[in-house]
Structure 1
Amino acid sequence: MVQYKWIALSNTSLGAFMAFMNANIVLISLPAIFRGIDINPFDSFQYLLWILFGYSIVSAILVVNVGRLSDIYGRVRMYNIGFAIFTIGSILLYITPGTGSIAALQLIAYRVVQAIGGSLLMANSAAILSEAFPPNQRGFALGLNGVIGIFGGVAGIIVGGILATIYWRDVFLVSVPIGILGTIWSLRSLKQLSPPNRHQKLDIPGNLLYAVALILILVGITYGILPYGSEVTGWGNPYVIASIISGLVLLGGFLFLERRVSDPMFRLELFKLRSFSASAIAILLAQLAFGGLQLMLVLLLQAIWLPLHGYSYSVTPFWAGIYLLPLLAGFGIMGSIAGRLSDKYGAKILATTGLVILGAGFLGLTTLPYDFSYPIFASIIFIMGIGNGLFVSPNMAALINSSPPQHRGSASGIRAMLTNTGSTLSIGIFFTIVIEVLYLLLPSTLTSALNAAGAPQLAPFMAKIPPTAAIFASFLGYNPVSAILSQLPSSVVSSISPHAISIITGNFWFPKVIAPAFMKSLKIAFYAGSAMAFSAAIASALRGKTIIYERDMQNTTVSNEK
């Protein structure tokens, strides 16, 4: 057993490394991927959203189901299958045969395959570690697992930046050897330490209700970010409203059903445990705060700060990742330390302090001008990474430790579902704030700047640019002005002096013009993030004393098993 716990830690850490690396490789390499499949960024933000969101949406839908199946059929078996499916998805992404919109749809479909494998890995890794390590070492194991995942994220930024300049398909190929190694190793080395409960029944109605409800809610949120008719966002779209309302109604029906079946998919009785419920609520609120932060900071760097400091649009994605490394470093340094401390002192003080630090970090970001000093920016995000590291490992250990051993697959699935759902909701909230504020400020800002630059002919066209298109074009490493000029009649373009065109298509003009409005919108989003982080801290502080099920509740019945 002593030797096996390190085998389990190393194998699950390899899975975390691969998943984090893959996520950052895709984020950093999107400009190269979109150029490789020959797609116009102004007509493609719906594809961009689904490549980014599709993975997390599918994961959020599946992880609870997978956790429940793992309790029945075995966590190690499901984990092994996850490694294999993730590897197959990576191979499919590498050989994507189409171009244009067809290729974008293929990439989205293959990312869904990856997400299925990732769900099997995510839902079972914490449960496997909780079986392999004794209660007084679980925080350390979970923390170290998260830190190695962060190393994967750093590797993804560097490797993705290098491979994207060589050949866009290679960014997907890099996960394949890791996936093959992990699949073989997990098959040969991992053991099912606790027997699965084959007497439990699958909750098929609950599975269907839950899946449809979450699909409707998350898809509605995703399309709420996109323009609808003359509106800058789609929150007034009847289909978006109907999708979200229908999803919420079905979710209510799902919760009603789960209280009345003998073997429910969603173990609601776990929420009767104060330590579990407080940990779960804190996860959701923390993800609402932190889930969209990295993407917002990438936008700030790529769309504003890097171009203003002389970086060409072709390299801004890579350097945005490099300049965000302090955020990952703070998490990596504190993650394993906090996990070890939580084994000794419990999660309450550590997790709550981490969330307070995270909330204060958001407030620190609101004080920055758009042309900020990088050392100050790096210090703030490093401290925010430390705060997140203080929270994640102790809180995860508290949630797993308070769960009955036979339901830890379900508990791990609930944790993963809350993480992915909160992250998707967070991106939707942040994007909505940014887009709505830019919609109010951007037209007049662009008109005044074009008049001053000697290109008033462009004002009627530029003022109509949806903020979504401008943001995503910048995110993908394109100068939106150049893209607009390429779509205008030649008579309009020829009426503008070459000097004016050279000014407005340079690296500096567009980011400098939109910088004040963009920074104002981000500050409002950061205030919202701060409020959610402090709310998570309150939930964490109300968790009560640390509970380890094997020690504190062995004789207490918290399940509804017969």
Structure 2
Amino acid sequence: MTLSRQAKAAPGPGYKWIALSNTTLGTLMATINSSIVLIALPAIFNGIGINPLAPEETPYFIWLLLGYMIITATLVVSLGRISDMFGRVKLYNLGFAVFTVGSILLFITPGSGNMAAVEMIIFRLVQAVGASFLFANSTAILTDAFPIQQRGMALGINQISAVLGSIIGLILGGLLAAINWRMVFLVSVPFGVFGTIWAYLQLRETSQSGGKQHIDWAGNITFFLGLTILLIGATYGIEPYGNDPMGWTNPFVIVTMALGVLLLVAFIVIELRVPDPMFRLSLFKNRLFSYGNLSQFLSSLARGGLQFILIIWLQGIWLPLHGYSYEDTPLWAGIYMLPLMLGFIIMGPISGMLSDRFGARIFATVGMLLQVVGFILLTLLPPNFDYIWFALILVLMGVGQGLFASPNAAMIMNSVPANQRGAASGMRSTFMNAANVISMTMFFSIVTAGLSASLPDALSKGLMQNSIAAATAHQIAHLPPIAALFAAFLGYNPMQTLLTPSILHQLPAANQAELLGKSFFPNTIAGPFMFGLNIAFYVSAVACLIAALACLVKGKPGDLGADFENERESIALKEARHIAESLEDTLQPHQAGHSSEKPSGKAAR
């Protein structure tokens, strides 16, 4: 074992707060940039001269939207293991620098048209590589820096930055895109430069690196290729294929997903055989680690597509019906999603501190059960809901996620040896990020299936009622419904996408105004959209319920982290018993007084 140069300067007692503040900045930056392009895509594509809804341009739209998430999902385990070997702080610093370089390249993207789109995708992937270093190491650095009795609090604050980043990115993207699309990427540069220098000067290696170990090239390559190919197949599954509204029958999708699964099976076989595996699968023998990651995966599977699909609900139906122009809906959708962040901010650090004192299982379980309630309540809302109820449900779900996130993270990280924390943090991030991508495709697939079943008939009738010939209305109504969803998401009136100028020019002015107004498309799509959306909500509720059951599983005696968890829960039971006894002692004199009065009362009578 060798110590890095930075480990020679021993950190002081305040070092843990430096580690927390710097890793929180890194996580905040990485998550802001995972969502900042969602709202800014129309301005970005207008800036480089591309129509993202044109069939030949759709791959650019898909890769700018999901490429960042795919890379961060596939790289973090490999980078976490390499960091365990060569130093977490060293590679975390490298991540900050790579992320900043990617942001600068995106800001100065030259050219226009398809070439500019390709360049931006490449630069976005560079940015994602830097973010993967940050994701892979931030949790491990915090676990190294904080004592076990404070990790829940530290991880809770770090988790808040992740949720804050995803919401702030939506709003920031809308505000900056209104000024200039390049500002969307420039905003990260000063923070990236500052974070890189700060991390280099202040962070210290507090654990020994395993420099004598060998890199598991076969495991790294099969895992990266397998998960990447699998997620690419899932992503293209939501694209239309032939006459089908989705691409799940596309041979490319079938082959890529099958190849991805085969490579991941090969990865498992390799990991069981090599002396220095990328990830020690034996860690899954620890119940807290395995069930903690299972609950994390199911939670992300339930919630990953939630924010995305709620934004489409707001932009495609609710906001237009409330008078907002389609051009303004992306920004306002981000603003109306703020209650989700509010609930998490309130409960995230509190649950972390409470789990440090009383144990993680009860808080993680209650958090998942609140998510179940939230998803069920969402199914009860009408398409044009009263916002106060929508906001309260979002707060409830934010509180639930806040109760779950930091206790779950602390439980996972407390259950692994110190020399495996980088790989464990990477695996945790992989479960979360991969589930987010799968969740988005799942939500889209379910909603699109609902639309394809009933939207054509509803749209065809509505078009014919507005003077469009039956044959033309039937043809328009059977266009891929995913195009209408993407249009609403990007801030375009979907009817302008579905109706060609030649069709519109043949219509009376009143019919044009009706079709291109703010109520025709929302009212037409509302029923079919809600049918599929409610099914997705029920699926998510079931996933959260299973996650809650996974949170209840106790570690086996001797499992790392199990003794600490049991000790915290014992303290909680003792304190609860003490409170109950105190209440009983308080009530007994009062009850005794009443019992002594009763005979005198009877005697008086």
Greater Cα offset, 312-321 or 541-550: 541-550
Q: Kindly indicate whether the alpha-carbon contact (under 8 Å) linking 2:286 and 2:415 is maintained by their aligned counterparts in 1.
A: yes
Residue 185 (str. 1) matches residue 185 (str. 2): no
The partner residue of 2:285 within 262, 272, 275 is: 272
Shift of 1:209: 1.2
Q: How does 1:532-547 map to 2 (within 5 A)?
A: 532-544=543-555
Q: 2 CA distance for matches of 1:82 and 1:402? A: 26
What corresponds to 1:41 in structure 2? 52
What corresponds to 1:108 in structure 2? 121
The partner residue of 1:474 within 488, 491, 505 is: 488
- Code of the residue aligned with 2:412 in structure 1: it is L
What secondary structure, in the 3-state scheme, does the structure 1 residue paired with 2:492 have? Answer: coil
Q: CA offsets per residue over residues 389-441 of structure 1, 9 Å max, x none?
A: 11111000000011100110110010011011111111111110011110111
Q: Kindly indicate whether the alpha-carbon contact (under 8 Å) linking 1:147 and 1:332 is maintained by their aligned counterparts in 2.
A: yes
- Code of the residue aligned with 1:388 in structure 2: it is Q
Greater Cα offset, 229-238 or 149-158: 149-158
Residue 281 (str. 1) matches residue 325 (str. 2): no
The partner residue of 2:82 within 46, 64, 69 is: 69
What corresponds to 2:244 in structure 1? 231
Q: Are the structure 2 counterparts of residues 104 and 324 from structure 1 closer, same or farther at C-alpha, using a change threshold of 3 Å?
A: same
Q: Kindly indicate whether the alpha-carbon contact (under 8 Å) linking 1:45 and 1:469 is maintained by their aligned counterparts in 2.
A: no
Instruction: Give the total of aligned pairs.
Output: 550
RMSD: 1.7
Q: How does 1:144-543 map to 2 (within 5 A)?
A: 144-456=157-469, 458-485=472-499, 487-488=500-501, 490=502, 492-543=503-554
Unmatched 5+ residue regions in structure 1?
A: 554-562
Shift of 1:548: 8.5
Q: Are the structure 2 counterparts of residues 546 and 156 from structure 1 closer, same or farther at C-alpha, using a change threshold of 3 Å?
A: farther
Q: Are the structure 2 counterparts of residues 308 and 167 from structure 1 closer, same or farther at C-alpha, using a change threshold of 3 Å?
A: same
Shift of 1:164: 1.2
Shift of 1:320: 0.2
What secondary structure, in the 3-state scheme, does the structure 2 residue paired with 1:41 have? Answer: coil
- Code of the residue aligned with 1:11 in structure 2: it is N
What corresponds to 1:9 in structure 2? 20
Q: Kindly indicate whether the alpha-carbon contact (under 8 Å) linking 2:34 and 2:68 is maintained by their aligned counterparts in 1.
A: no
Q: Kindly indicate whether the alpha-carbon contact (under 8 Å) linking 1:45 and 1:472 is maintained by their aligned counterparts in 2.
A: no
Greater Cα offset, 102-111 or 297-306: 102-111
- Code of the residue aligned with 1:517 in structure 2: it is P
What corresponds to 1:556 in structure 2? none
Shift of 1:530: 0.8
Greater Cα offset, 177-186 or 239-248: 239-248
Shift of 1:289: 0.5
- Code of the residue aligned with 1:140 in structure 2: it is M
Q: CA offsets per residue over residues 170-220 of structure 1, 9 Å max, x none?
A: 011000000000000000000001120111111011111111211221111
Larger radius of gyration: 2
Q: 1 CA distance for matches of 2:372 and 2:554? A: 19
- Code of the residue aligned with 2:473 in structure 1: it is A
- Code of the residue aligned with 1:503 in structure 2: it is E
Q: Are the structure 2 counterparts of residues 546 and 460 from structure 1 closer, same or farther at C-alpha, using a change threshold of 3 Å?
A: farther
Aligned sequence identity (%): 49
Q: 1 CA distance for matches of 2:200 and 2:213? A: 25
Q: Kindly indicate whether the alpha-carbon contact (under 8 Å) linking 2:167 and 2:337 is maintained by their aligned counterparts in 1.
A: no
Q: 2 CA distance for matches of 1:360 and 1:45? A: 36
What secondary structure, in the 3-state scheme, does the structure 1 residue paired with 2:376 have? Answer: helix
Q: Are the structure 2 counterparts of residues 251 and 550 from structure 1 closer, same or farther at C-alpha, using a change threshold of 3 Å?
A: closer
- Code of the residue aligned with 1:51 in structure 2: it is L
Shift of 1:160: 2.1
Shift of 1:52: 2.0
Which contiguous aligned blocks of 4+ residues in structure 1 show a shift greater than 6 angstroms? 545-548
Q: CA offsets per residue over residues 216-240 of structure 1, 9 Å max, x none?
A: 2111101111111111111111121
TM-score between the two structures when normalised by the length of structure 2: 0.88
Q: 1 CA distance for matches of 2:557 and 2:28? A: 29
Q: 2 CA distance for matches of 1:48 and 1:445? A: 28
Q: 2 CA distance for matches of 1:382 and 1:463? A: 37
Unmatched 5+ residue regions in structure 2?
A: 1-11, 565-605
Q: 2 CA distance for matches of 1:547 and 1:310? A: 61
The partner residue of 2:38 within 6, 27, 44 is: 27
What secondary structure, in the 3-state scheme, does the structure 2 residue paired with 1:68 have? Answer: helix
Shift of 1:546: 10
Q: CA offsets per residue over residues 136-178 of structure 1, 9 Å max, x none?
A: 0001001011223334344333332221111111011000000
Q: 1 CA distance for matches of 2:127 and 2:278? A: 23
Q: Kindly indicate whether the alpha-carbon contact (under 8 Å) linking 1:76 and 1:124 is maintained by their aligned counterparts in 2.
A: yes
